[in-house]
């Protein structure tokens, strides 16, 4: 039997309490670093995906708990777009990304793991990053520990 050790997944398995929204981040008792929040702006913020598709997988979200893009106001739309551009800049600089997948998963049917609080994904890509592991072993290989990635990205965001 093959074994893949991923002790950080225990946090996911034990998960947040039922009904808690990971994107509602106004609770001051939890630090940004423990949530992997990289930068906060007036209306939106950038958070690392704790269970990424690739190293540096980020999510841009409004603070308001919204399930529909049409409910965003102009300030939120602009903030999301500017943070998306800043995220691309940081990922190019820090990770040497060669391309990006960017998008929304709107609604559970479209693949949204958390459908009630919209968020945009930006996933850095590299030539040859799709290897045999996802195909043959249904396993993604993340080459750097999430805390190390967080430290590098947080520093880059603070320098923008």
**For the purposes of burial, counting CB atoms within 10 Å of the CB of 12, is it exposed (0-12), middle (13-18) or buried (19 or more)?**
exposed
Q: Residue 129 corresponds to which tokens in the numbers above? A: 């990053």
Residue for token pair 């946090």: 11
Q: Strands, E, within 43-118: which ranges?
A: 44-48, 58-62, 99-104
**For the purposes of burial, counting CB atoms within 10 Å of the CB of 115, is it exposed (0-12), middle (13-18) or buried (19 or more)?**
middle
Q: Is 119 a catalytic residue?
A: yes
Distances (CA, A) of 160 to 69, 80, 82, 126, 155: 27, 16, 12, 23, 9
Alpha-helical segments (H) within 19-114: 32-35, 74-95
Catalytic residue among 65, 117, 119, 121: 119
Active-site residues, by number, are: 119
């Amino acid at each position: 039997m093959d074994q893949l050790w991923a002790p950080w997944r225990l946090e996911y398995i034990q998960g947040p309490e039922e009904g808690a929204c990971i994107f509602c981040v106004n609770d001051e008792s939890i630090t940004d670093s423990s949530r992997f929040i990289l930068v906060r702006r007036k209306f939106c913020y950038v958070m690392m995906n704790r269970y990424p598709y690739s190293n540096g997988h980020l999510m841009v979200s409004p603070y308001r708990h919204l399930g529909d893009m049409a409910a965003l106001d102009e300030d939120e739309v602009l903030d999301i777009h500017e943070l998306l551009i800043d995220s691309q800049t940081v990922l190019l600089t820090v990770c040497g990304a060669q391309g990006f997948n960017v998008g929304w998963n709107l609604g559970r049917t479209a693949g949204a793991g958390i459908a009630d609080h919209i968020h945009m994904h930006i996933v850095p890509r590299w030539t040859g990053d799709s290897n045999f592991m996802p195909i043959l072993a249904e396993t993604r290989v993340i080459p750097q520990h999430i805390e190390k990635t967080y430290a590098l990205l947080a520093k880059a965001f603070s320098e923008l």
